[in-house]
Copies of this chain bind each other. A is one copy, B any other.
């Protein structure tokens, strides 16, 4: 068995907890890098090498953008006090303070609103849920390209969806104008080699991949198997062994399990989004 073949099998096993012996996967170094992704929550305090931020933003801007509208922006936060305030919104997640760089990815409809005012042109299209979705998708595509780039440079990161717990506090910390939503934060730094992160197993491909048409049958056996695999992973990582089913269902139980994000619609309306 070649080294590449062994790497391919090991990457598959880490991601799916099963062997890939019968699969003809297309494979190369980029694919190997993507499959090796892990979320990093422990960082060395060292600053990032010069040019890193510019490279991450260039990678982000190279992602596709809906109709080339470029309805996103990013704030790069390095100030300890600002990071501390952001971590409070995120219920005290320490890595938001400890990472040398926190990027905050924004769905930004404000730029086109300003441009419309400057050119004396109507921009009522910004008042629709559709256009917020364009901004959110643009921001997510951009952020993921930055993640791929930073991992290729030996850095690590983790997204912080918890910034949506309180969009108004985040707007205050970062000086965001109306029509801008902080979609998520993004801690970036050198992974602490003393506290290495592991590849998290995912649902089997057959659960998320539908061929030709959507198969609405719930793949209960595959989900039960995944639940067991995740308990194994949690035991290895010395995390509470709650599995997937109970944790996921607890997370979507009701408004009280959304960490304040049940108020997102109201907060967006107050932040100027039309949401029609």
User: Could you tell me which A residues sit within 8 Å of B by CB distance?
Assistant: 12, 15-16, 23-31, 33-37, 39, 49-55, 57-59, 61-70, 72-79, 82, 106, 108, 110-112, 114-116, 118-119, 121-126, 128-131, 133-134, 136-137, 140-141, 143-145, 147-149, 152-153, 158-159, 161, 164, 174-177, 180, 183-184, 199-200, 202-203, 205, 207-214, 216, 218, 220, 223, 244-245, 247-249, 251-255, 257-258, 261-262, 264-265, 268, 275-276
Given contacts A133-B264, A248-B69, A55 and B26 within 8 Å (CB-CB): yes
Q: How many copies does the complex hold?
A: 2
A52, A249, A268 interface centre (most CB from chain B within 10 Å) = A249
Contact between A68 and B244, CB atoms less than 8 A apart: yes
A-B contacts, 24 of them at CB < 8 A, read: A12-B58, A23-B54, A35-B59, A53-B209, A57-B205, A61-B203, A63-B147, A70-B208, A72-B208, A74-B208, A77-B212, A112-B248, A115-B248, A118-B218, A121-B249, A123-B249, A123-B253, A131-B258, A136-B136, A137-B161, A140-B140, A141-B143, A176-B214, A265-B275
